[in-house]
């Protein structure tokens, strides 16, 4: 919490929920480098899978919350929420689009969660999606780098640039080495290899990472998430069945817009605050988390966010990676679906797909070799920009 | 811009203009010379947007008063080296013209 935050008496977290909203159903498209379907068709496919999973009819949905970053730029279109409700055959519902750059998905989940928690909606559908393949790499890079502060933009700073600066500082500050960083991508690819919905269903080794083209030193191509097409959906309800996964908290927090305005380059204040607020609302803390979906747009972010969220002590997250503790069969599996690195990162879909993954894990839907054994509490963190904003969601299996 | 904004209330400095001080919430600032900073991190970016030099070497420098700056780095400097802000550089070519501003250079 910053000094001005304290002085203003801003409440840290939403009030605890006696009867938390729950997840009625989830679904997503298979993430891909290019999916031929138009964006609205992707949103529709994910929405229908979530509604089918809930074993209910689309007519039960009374609010629709669409997460998308840049359909105007990538696809030359807007009006996504209304197009989706039209395709679903819904009229008379509340519908809106939510934009929070690369955390648009989690913000859509938060919007749906708040609609249910606040008594405004009984069945709130959050759908996130992005179709990035319509733009060439240079255009996509420009669209994404445009979210930076003007003083950063003029320097030609891109998102991977911040990843490179953070990684260089981390490797300088602690005993981790370049190989340890590569192990994050190796682990996330191994998880994605078993995930039918992942963009890269391919195992890689440390050498593959170290031999891949340089992007922003010390980061290489295999430290960076791809561009992707895809959509994901979750249906949140106030009237769950007895075995439904509940949403114990969904909290957002902003950080500074200019990354360098943080006092420490290894600090992502938005992630720390979103985590603190979420733990407070949920009434349980980092030590009780069994599985986590972390926003690994760049390998280094997995460590920084784990430390901000209290999932690893400061300067120690790399040891958990090296020791295999974050692997699928480790003490704290991180990114069991492959993360942004290997499941893919269709911007507005990502935050929703993290919740989909956690629900599958907590419901015990997944086969051996894909499942985290005995997981009861899950954490997802979706980050906008390089920490401009973060949303932390905590899920709990039916006790 | 080679100057920093210093909060009149608490003295916290920043390179990035805003209405309120991040530290104390103060709303009045004075422009002060950045002085001598220290490089906290460096990266060489090999994939850059159109109109930006490639590769683009960047530095993250900490200046007195809590002001950190990310800017283009002109020389082969490393973490721990002393730097200063040097104005008047062509940083980026856009459709609306060339953006000019500060780079990080070695401080004597």
Q: Given an 8 Å threshold on Cβ–Cβ distance, is A260 in contact with B50?
A: no
Peptide bond into A38 cis (omega under 30): no
Residue numbers of B between 11 and 50 with CB closer than 8 Å to A: 14-17, 20-25, 40-50
- Which of B44, B47, B81 is most worth mutating to test chain A (most A CB atoms within 10 A of its CB)? B47
Higher pLDDT, B50 or A44: A44
pLDDT band at A265 (very low <50, low <70, confident <90, very high): confident
SS3 content of chain A, % helix, strand, coil (to 5): 40, 20, 40
Q: Which pLDDT value is given to residue A226?
A: 95
Residue A18 has pLDDT above 60, yes or no: yes
Question: Taking Cα atoms as reference points, which of A75, A61, A37 lies closest to residue A127?
Answer: A61
Segment A341-364, tens digit of pLDDT: 999 999 999 999 999 999 999 999
Residue A393 has pLDDT above 90, yes or no: yes
Q: Report the SS3 class of residue A9.
A: coil
Q: Which pLDDT value is given to residue A1?
A: 38
Q: Which residue of chain A is at minimal alpha-carbon distance from B5?
A: A261
Residue B27 has pLDDT above 70, yes or no: yes
Question: Taking Cα atoms as reference points, which of A203, A130, A133 lies closest to residue A353?
Answer: A130
Residue A19 has pLDDT above 90, yes or no: no
Residue numbers of A between 296 and 325 with CB closer than 8 Å to B: none
Q: Which pLDDT value is given to residue A7?
A: 45
Residues in chain B: 108
Q: How many CB pairs under 8 A join A and B?
A: 130
Segment A309-325, tens digit of pLDDT: 999 999 999 999 999 99
Shortest Cα distance, chain B CAs vs residue A302, angstroms: 19
Contact A169, A266 (CB under 8 A): yes
Q: Comparing A43-52, A128-137, A197-206, which segment has the lowest mean pLDDT?
A: A128-137
Residue A4 has pLDDT above 50, yes or no: no
| Mean pLDDT, rounded, of chain A | 94
Q: Report the SS3 class of residue A384.
A: strand
Q: Which pLDDT value is given to residue B71?
A: 97
Shortest Cα distance, chain B CAs vs residue A50, angstroms: 38
ipTM of the complex as predicted: 0.97
Segment A150-209, tens digit of pLDDT: 999 999 999 999 999 999 999 999 999 999 999 999 999 999 999 999 999 999 999 999
| Mean pLDDT, rounded, of chain B | 95
């Amino acid at each position: 919490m910053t000094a001005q935050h304290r002085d203003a008496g801003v409440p840290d977290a939403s009030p605890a929920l006696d009867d938390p909203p729950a997840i009625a159903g989830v679904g997503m498209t298979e993430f891909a480098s290019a999916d031929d379907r138009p964006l609205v068709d992707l949103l529709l496919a994910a929405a229908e899978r979530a509604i089918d999973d809930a074993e209910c009819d689309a007519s039960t949905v009374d609010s629709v919350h669409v997460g998308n970053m840049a359909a105007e730029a990538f696809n030359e279109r807007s009006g996504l929420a209304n197009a989706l409700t039209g395709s679903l055959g819904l009229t008379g519902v509340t519908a809106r689009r939510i934009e929070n750059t690369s955390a648009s998905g989690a913000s859509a989940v938060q919007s749906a969660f708040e609609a249910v928690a606040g008594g405004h909606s009984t069945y709130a559908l959050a759908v996130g999606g992005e179709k990035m393949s319509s733009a060439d790499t240079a255009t996509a890079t420009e669209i994404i780098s445009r979210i930076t502060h003007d003083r950063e933009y003029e320097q030609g700073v891109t998102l991977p640039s911040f990843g490179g600066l953070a990684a260089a500082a981390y490797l300088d500050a602690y005993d981790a080495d370049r190989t340890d960083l590569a192990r994050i991508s190796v682990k996330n690819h191994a998880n994605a290899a078993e995930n039918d919905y992942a963009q890269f269903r391919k195992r890689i080794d440390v050498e593959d990472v170290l031999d891949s083209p340089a992007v922003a030193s010390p980061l290489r191509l295999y430290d960076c998430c791809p561009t992707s097409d895809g959509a994901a959906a979750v249906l949140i309800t106030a009237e769950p069945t007895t075995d439904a996964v509940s949403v114990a908290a969904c909290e957002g927090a902003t950080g500074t817009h200019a990354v360098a305005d943080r006092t420490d380059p290894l600090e992502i204040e938005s992630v720390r605050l979103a985590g603190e607020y979420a733990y407070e609302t949920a009434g349980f803390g980092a030590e009780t988390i069994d599985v986590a979906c972390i926003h690994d747009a760049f390998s280094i972010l997995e460590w920084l966010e784990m430390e901000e969220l209290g999932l690893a002590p400061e300067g120690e997250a790399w040891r958990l990676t090296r020791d295999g503790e974050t692997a699928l069969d480790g003490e704290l599996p991180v990114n069991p679906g492959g993360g942004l690195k290997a499941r893919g990162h269709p911007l507005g879909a990502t935050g929703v797909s993290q919740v989909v993954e956690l629900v599958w894990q907590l419901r015990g839907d997944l086969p051996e070799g894909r499942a985290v054994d005995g997981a009861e509490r899950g954490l997802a963190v979706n980050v906008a920009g390089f920490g401009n904003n973060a949303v932390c969601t905590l899920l709990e299996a039916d006790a | 811009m080679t100057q920093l904004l210093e909060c009149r209330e608490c003295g916290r400095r920043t390179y990035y203009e805003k209405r309120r001080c991040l530290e104390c919430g103060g709303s009045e600032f004075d422009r002060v010379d950045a002085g001598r900073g220290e490089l906290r991190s460096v990266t060489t970016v090999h994939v850059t947007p159109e109109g930006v030099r490639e590769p683009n070497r960047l530095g993250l420098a900490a200046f007195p008063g809590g002001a950190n700056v990310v800017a283009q780095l002109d020389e082969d400097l490393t973490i721990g080296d002393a730097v200063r802000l040097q104005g008047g550089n062509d940083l980026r070519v856009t459709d609306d013209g060339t953006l000019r501003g500060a780079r990080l250079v070695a401080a004597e």
